[in-house]
Structure 1
């Protein structure tokens, strides 16, 4: 039964012919590339492939190829590398053998796929660097083997030839081995010289026969080995060396330096005296055989022996020793062993600082016991001195003044005379003398400032120190002692010496009196500083004394005027309109502008909703009309406060009574022209009081005018005041933030108008300020010519 079954199986298998199907493909085909269509090549029906099983059996390297069972195409599964499949180069051919098996019925097809070589590998040397050692005595034509390059490609793609980089000394010869491989030999074509070039760097290149050709390189380093073919040589064959007498033992005379171009023991040098060197020279000088250094061994004396001749041999340690010679002449020189000497024959000190130029200050002599250059000497003084040396005779010098002297800059000079010989090395000596300068009175006193501004607070204590005006004089002794004076100057028949005093010794300035800013505001005078020289010198400085105001005057209320301690009573109709001017408080302060600035405030008020007070001009106005509920009597207390520190003040009490009868209210002075402003009848006592105040103020002004007329001042027209009581443009009452004069005129204005007259201010020529004219009530525009009888000029 077993045999029958096998017979049945084999009877169904059909084999292909003995010859196999052959394909040739290049290596490095990409994945998926189709090699062949087996269905076409094997005459198979494509439709029957779906019913029959096809199987590919690759004998070796099964991972590279496969067959599409539906189309019958043989394709590349993985990139093919011929050198990886066929690792040996014994055969130029490389195959992949495979079988295609079909079932139903079974058919087997033998196939072979030849992998064709591509030039995908460059030649490569086993070693990147090839080292060769060649002695410089090697004859030309000598051959040296070099490592060959390998190329995994086959045939013409393998190594074809070699090339050597350009070289004058070497070339190559390419040969072929029994297996067809190529190798190269290095040939010496020119004699080598290590001393000229010790190392030769060459590049060996292997080139294959592919298209395009590929190549690989290796570095060939040839080291030239030395032979003893160079003798030692000295830098100079003849030397002449100078050495000073009395040079100590061990002093270096000369350091010989022979060189040998060879290397190793061929360049090791030994120094020695030749037979031509005298015993005297060998006893006096020592030669170091290893370093070639010649040093002093005995005593050198210029007078005993001046010249030494010697010959030194330098020999190398090669197998065949080579040597060189050097002749040396040592000259012993005289030593500069005597110092120069300096002698001061005369020296004048002290001298006055105004000494004349070219005056002789000192006489100096110099000498040296040596001879030749060692006995020639030079004399010097520092370059920054106002003196110079002048040679008077052989080795004699005079010190003279070459520049003006100034004791205030340099009071004395330390003059150092230095004498130096011309030996080598030079020797020197020096001597220092001190020249003292005497002072002359050639400097005027100097103040630190050319102008002094001194501020003095009024009400100062007499004798108080104002400032210290100290001058400086750079001179000495009596030429430096200063005395201070006030240069006399009269102001209003008053001498400066009556107002101020200066300490003549230290310049301290004192006030002799108490100053009042309201009377005296500044002083300008000169102070002189004079020294005690002969003749004396002096200078002066300008002093500006400014009196600084203190807030020492309280405001004085001049309107509304009232007797001391009394209350001002005013009557107004109850029908007064809102905004009507009820009263105007005016205060004056005789302090400076800063301290005399007045502000007004209610201290007490019966009804704060009924009246307003302007804090700057003191005007009291109604804020609304009176109602039947408002009390008949209103009491207002106003305080006038100045701008000083601390502030001073004054108060006034105004008692207002409202009346049902027709009483004409004050007109708004800022709106009606002055010439038509007529006041209603007022209490006779108020008129008499205001008149008295006006009279007293008038007398005060007259006295002030008389005093000021005694002080001559440059004529200067006063500019129109911005605080004028009466405007010159429209003759109305203007802004009443007043200075003292305006307060007085306004007070006078009230007094005169209550008497039924009108007051007008007008500018006057020739520097006068105002004219006050009393004009009968009811007249028209002011006419100053009609009122000359009652005019007051200020």
Structure 2
């Protein structure tokens, strides 16, 4: 007895040692635990066994997944220990299977890793043997021969291994002994053997107790009562043709199919030989729902759907009972093996999915962990996964039936923002069965696209004198990225125009790209400018691009004509003199004006609005020359006053006026037209000769100076494209050698107006008109011989410039009347 106790203790020590034994084989971990552990019991330190630090498991989201769907285990993220989360009943998990393995998966993210964990659940002796019927009645004829055997109900024990059913014992009696047989599957079947003849008259009933004992330590047992009724007469029991029927049957067999026919023979005669068939008293109800037996013919038929995955084999007893009095029974066994057919489609299981995936993720980045299973067996359960070929993803095999979905090519969110990946699973059965699963993978945007302007060059035309703050234009850029990577801010790049920061001219709305003026523009001071706009996105490591905006100021008629001659700077104009002997067409004077505007706004028209005698004078509409309309009469007033209006051609015309006083005098001689006659009179006075020489020299020097200025301007501004030509008329002789020159220049650009004046009141005028502006054919360069010897001490500079272009000089000769 002491030896038995010692052996039992050693077994317990070995079992306790195995409880915490683990090992890793080919990327998988196995732990061994007993069933019925309390919740919170420690299985092992899985973090240490996986080689992951305790500080990492929370960040990398270590978790346990079970294929069964029940969460029997959990992980203590603080210690890295695998804990029992729910009571584990081995009999519920594995039924009668000797080996009970609970497969788990340990999943770690960042990066994704998968480990297979197996929990071997050891059986403990927590179930006693149990009889389905605790009380059985056995009818035995008194004439039954010695050695007759009577099949007893087998006890069922949910435990396995050493804890399963080991033996039976029979209560002490004088007539029966117990014989135990071992079936093909290792099960123990008790049989009652008649050892001593029965005598109904002495004892009509025997009460026996059958005890089933398991091999646990300590052992557990269960009992069933057997009442043996001693009967008279019918002393031969039916005997089956076969003691055991072995059958193979495919799953999903058609209902109503006859599986096997049981036949039993009874040597008795009459009613004692008629046999009726039925299931044994301990046949499970589920088995009786799958099969039926014809009581008369013994045919066993399929009555419900047979599923290999629900049960791979069935074993039950058929009782053959005669109709004698008392009835006799014979028993035979039926064993049915179910054959698997490929009737289950493969299943695709998504274990983990990393979505979204950055578009700059390197090739080989793990996107998802996928497993496949098929509950069929053999080739029917072998599964292969495939993807459609036109996607930048691939399936990389991992441990058994597990795959990693990885990137196979570079990703571009702007081409594909979302991928719908269709995974196809195909088994190896015949015929093959397939299943599909769709996985949606979102691509996370990366700031890899700079903003792009709709135009690289914007041209804007703005009227001068616009209200400050008015919108000039709007620029627009787009970015194919998303979120902050596509949000754009606009700004003006710092630059200077005419020495002034460009930001003092304009302002841009950073959100929508609208450009506003900071003040009104003056065409006469600035005709064009340009600036650069930058569009920058809000992504991390922001990207940008630039566009150029050219702004052209359009002229408005905001300047009235300015009178150059006669001018207050030159002295009083009330002393203009004209001989009374002047004929019709005599050039009295010339009114000259300029307009700072350009184009049509600078066209000027001269009109005589008031005169002492309107019949005596007229003015040329375009040139401003004032001439006599008729000869002067004796009775005409000696003092004539003229009011001349100069009006431009603008849409809202502007005008200026000038007043000219003309004094009619006697004794002023007409200039001699014949040069040869004038040359003959030179000797009449040395004073006249002296003045003539000085006049000619002055005119020559000023003419040369004027043309040099014109040629320099042509060469510099037109860059070879300008064609400058000047015609000069033959010189007239003058009595008065005095000459005056007036030159009007624009210091900010090309010459807009030049006028050379010479002569006096008595001389006829000679003028040179030249057009310099390609934009306004009325801008002129004029050499004029004035009718006055008043000296011009100051030159007026016009604040206007014209674009460089081909300048043409056109001469105008006015002959003496």
**Superposition TM-score, scaled by structure 2 size:** 0.41
Query: Higher Cα Rg: structure 1 or 2?
Result: 1
**Superposition TM-score, scaled by structure 1 size:** 0.42
